[in-house]
Amino acid sequence: MSRIDLADRTAALETAVAAASGRLDRALLDDARAVVTRARERGGLSAEHTVVALAGATGSGKSSVLNAVAGEEIATVGVRRPTTSHPVAAVWGDGAGPLLDWLEVRRRQEMALPEDDDDDGPARPPRRGIARLRGRRVPAGISTGLVLLDLPDHDSVVVEHRVRAERLVERADLLVWVVDPQKYADAALHEGYLRPLAGRSEVVVVVLNQTDRLSAAETDAMLADLRRLVAADGLDGARVLAVSAATGQGMDQLKGLLAEAAARREAATARLAADARAAARAIADACGTGPAPRAGERAAGTLVDALEAAAGVPTVADAVAAAHRRDAHLVTGWPVTRWVSRLRRDPLRRLGLRRGGEGGAREAGGPGRGAPERPDLVRSSLPTARPAVRAAAASAVRRYVDEVTDGAPDAWVLVARARAQDGIDRLPGDLDQAVVGTQLEAARRPRWWAVAGFVQWLLLAAAVAGLLWLAAAAAIEYFRLPPLILPVLTVDLTGSGGGVLEVPWPTLLAIGGLLLGLLLALVARGVGAAGARRRATRVRRRLRESVTGVADRLVRVPVGDELGALARCRAAAAIAAG
């Protein structure tokens, strides 16, 4: 498995922070941003130097350890507490100035290198801000590139001192915590400083100082207890040493450890990578396990069903069917009774879904005339959804959010709910616009209507002609005028056992026109009802698509954005913590 480099790890952490911004705890994200900033700032400074910070409580002997490592009285050791108010740096090697400036360490002591003892060579002038010790050899075991800091006491009564110490604890490459036999188990140390460093055991060393005051058995017992406490702090594997700055006991082991760190030049990268991993783990933990895959698909159907009811889709579909039947009767019904349908108000016009002169037999337009050109400027006359229906829609939205965010962190769920609530507030108007803007086929007229209507008028004309013919014949006979010749339709029924049937053409026209007109009207009514059902089905499908669009725009997309951000955050945090 390949290892991720620091730049990629830092970029992944930055991606996780960006995805979690406004959703997770601000302090958590601020800490992660600080890690990213430190990584980039430290990466632009000297990679040849390893910054080792000696940290500890008042009286632990940090300054004595620094002097013992350096072989010189660099830090002041005294009985007055706190002794160290400002950090002191012992520097082996050149080029550490910008790094110390970034660390805000003003008191600097450059330790002499072996070549400085060459009396034949010219003396190098001291660099600005760094004191030079001439004629001194590098203590055994110390490598070029080491920057050793003596920090102010982390438990100092002076707040300013504690702040300086904490800032340098964050920026140091390797941390050496110096503890003494009296306060090695102090809760302030373990809970306030070591426990927050959990997971960074490779860049933490714990030194038990002043062992010259203990017997060998006491030292072994105290070291075992200290290792137990350090492991409980999440630093299992951190190196724990016993030293005495006064007698030099164990100092060679500490010097060797510092020399190895300086020679390998990996502590800075290790510390920054460890900080990035820790910050990423904290973000990953805050992100939770994440929602189950494909969560909420069932809730989506329930959501759209509830929004359909809130939008009045069933009412619109019924109105489309009724309007289709009414329009069909106005065109294909028996002309004598069509006026009855005209007395009934157009169902779509009553809902405000058919405007102007549209409607009835005049509607011969194409499929584009069923919806207004600017539906955003139009409102329907649909009855306001009952409070129970509106509450059901709001409940469906909240239920959908709860199902799709199941397993997400509470902070993320709250943001998703807030965005869904904005959608709930906009639902009534957007659902109405969805209905108004949907193609209802209000102006579309099947071609067979025109044919049936034409035939109806022909049949009525035939019936009227027959009746007028019979009326004229009756009037002539009444006034004893010469009889009107009435052509007769002769039907030979002798083959079936009957005689010869003679039916006058006027009678046939009158009766046949009336009966066939009524029969055609009945057939057209049945076909029109079937067409009304098909049209209502198509319209309901289109309305569902429109309502689904509203649900997507106001609920599913905003919530999906939050879930997408959660997925990006978790994925990036997993990479950064890997």
Segments in the chain below pLDDT 50:
1, 79-82, 114, 116-140, 356-372, 374-379
Kindly state the tokens that stand for 384.
Answer: 């306001």
* Cα distances (angstroms) measured from residue 439 to each of 356, 369, 544: 16, 8, 12
Q: What is the DSSP code string of 437-457?
A: TS---TT---HHHHHHHHHHH
Residue 289: left (phi > 0), alpha (psi -120 to 50), or beta? alpha
* Cα distances (angstroms) measured from residue 520 to each of 331, 339, 459, 505: 12, 17, 10, 21
φ and ψ at 110, to 5 degrees?
-85, 125
Element at 156 (helix H, strand E): none
First-to-last CA distance in the chain?
11
- What local confidence, expressed as pLDDT, does residue 179 receive? 92
- What local confidence, expressed as pLDDT, does residue 208 receive? 93
**Alpha-carbon torsion (410, 414, 420, 425), positive or negative:** positive
* Cα distances (angstroms) measured from residue 231 to each of 56, 201, 204, 225, 529: 18, 9, 12, 10, 81
- Closest by CA to 33, choosing from 276, 298, 203, 240, is 276
Kindly state the tokens that stand for 18.
Answer: 């960006």
Cβ–Cβ under 8 Å, residues 234 and 198 = yes
CA dist 403 and 555 (Å) reads 13
pLDDT 10s digits, 521-548: 999 999 989 988 998 888 888 888 888 8
- What local confidence, expressed as pLDDT, does residue 546 receive? 86
**CATH ID of 48-98+105-264, from 3.40.309.10, 3.40.50.300, 3.40.605.10, 3.40.720.10:** 3.40.50.300
Note the helical H segments in 71-158: 97-103
- What local confidence, expressed as pLDDT, does residue 435 receive? 79
- What local confidence, expressed as pLDDT, does residue 131 receive? 39
Burial profile 185-223: b = 16 or more Cβ within 10 angstroms, e = fewer:
ebeebbeebbeebbbbbbbbbbbbbbbeebeeeebeebb
- What local confidence, expressed as pLDDT, does residue 294 receive? 67
Kindly state the tokens that stand for 178.
Answer: 């110096």
- What local confidence, expressed as pLDDT, does residue 120 receive? 45
Cβ–Cβ under 8 Å, residues 209 and 226 = no
Kindly state the tokens that stand for 135.
Answer: 């004629």
